Amino acid sequence: MSNDDLFTCIDHVGYAVLNLDDAITFHTEVLGWRLLHRETNQEQGVEEAMLGTGEQLPQNAQVQLLAPLNENSTIAKWIERNGGKGGIQQVCYRVADLDRTCAALRERGVRLLYDTPKIGTGGSRINFAHPKDVGGILLEIVEPAAQAH
Ligand code: V0V
């Protein structure tokens, strides 16, 4: 990784799903992924699962399944806007230093959704770049918990 790189790798792709148990069953039994982690994030309004495959090296991207906790959830809104169906809601890039990356993106005119980072999967620190500033893609940025400070 070059010192100029803002991002380390693709951390995960996030799918909005209607029902978490059904989506886990499909991804494990039909697609052959493995369930690595599951949690509820009240602040983000989601019930979520992380899935992995292969050797699960640190740089291997994961699949994240996101089900709405309630009707006010951003995931519920996304599904409603998508005609009641699930789909790709976000792509997430991993970083070594979230504060540095967010500062650089702000300087380059990209709006971040939160002034200060929120807590994401497994105690990670997260923020999101606004879809309007990223070509229509909701871009999550994550600093994994092991590096959190
Ligand atoms: C909205 N838009 C999207 C989008 N959501 N475009 C691409 N991908 C998405 N997921 C578009 C929408 O079509 C509009 O475009 C425009 O953005 C603004 O829409 P809006 O109705 O004003 O916005 P809302 O109220 O739907 O909110 C959108 C944002 C919201 C992105 C602000 O979803 C948000 O706060 N997301 C960040 C938090 C989140 O997604 N949490 C769940 C995952 P037009 O129609 O104007 O062209 S939690 C998670 O990932 C965790 C815990 C983790 O990984 O650790």
User: Three-state SS string across the chain, please?
Assistant: CCCCCCCCEEEEEEEECCCHHHHHHHHHHHCCCEEEEEEEECCCCEEEEEEECCCCCCCCCEEEEEEECCCCCHHHHHHHHCCCCCEEEEEEEECCCHHHHHHHHHHCCCCECCCCCEECHHHCEEEEECHHHCCCCCEEEEECHHHCC
pLDDT of residue 55: 87
Residue 54 Cα to ligand 1 midpoint, Å, equals: 30
| pTM of the predicted model as reported, rounded to 2 decimal places | 0.95
Strands 34-41 and 46-52: antiparallel
pLDDT of residue 25: 98
CB-defined site of ligand 1, < 6 Å: 14, 41, 44, 46, 64, 66, 74-75, 77-78, 89-90, 92, 113, 120-121, 124, 126, 128, 131, 136-138, 140
Q: Which residue is associated with the tokens 């009641």?
A: 84
Tens digits of per-residue pLDDT, 30-63? Answer: 999 999 999 999 999 999 999 999 888 888 899 9
Mean pLDDT score, 4-30: 97
Mean pLDDT score, 114-125: 97
User: Three-state SS string across 72-102, please?
Assistant: CCHHHHHHHHCCCCCEEEEEEEECCCHHHHH
In the structure encoding, which two tokens stand for residue 12, read together?
A: 């995960």
C-alpha Rg value of the chain to the nearest Å:
15
DSSP code of residue 110:
P
pLDDT of residue 56: 82
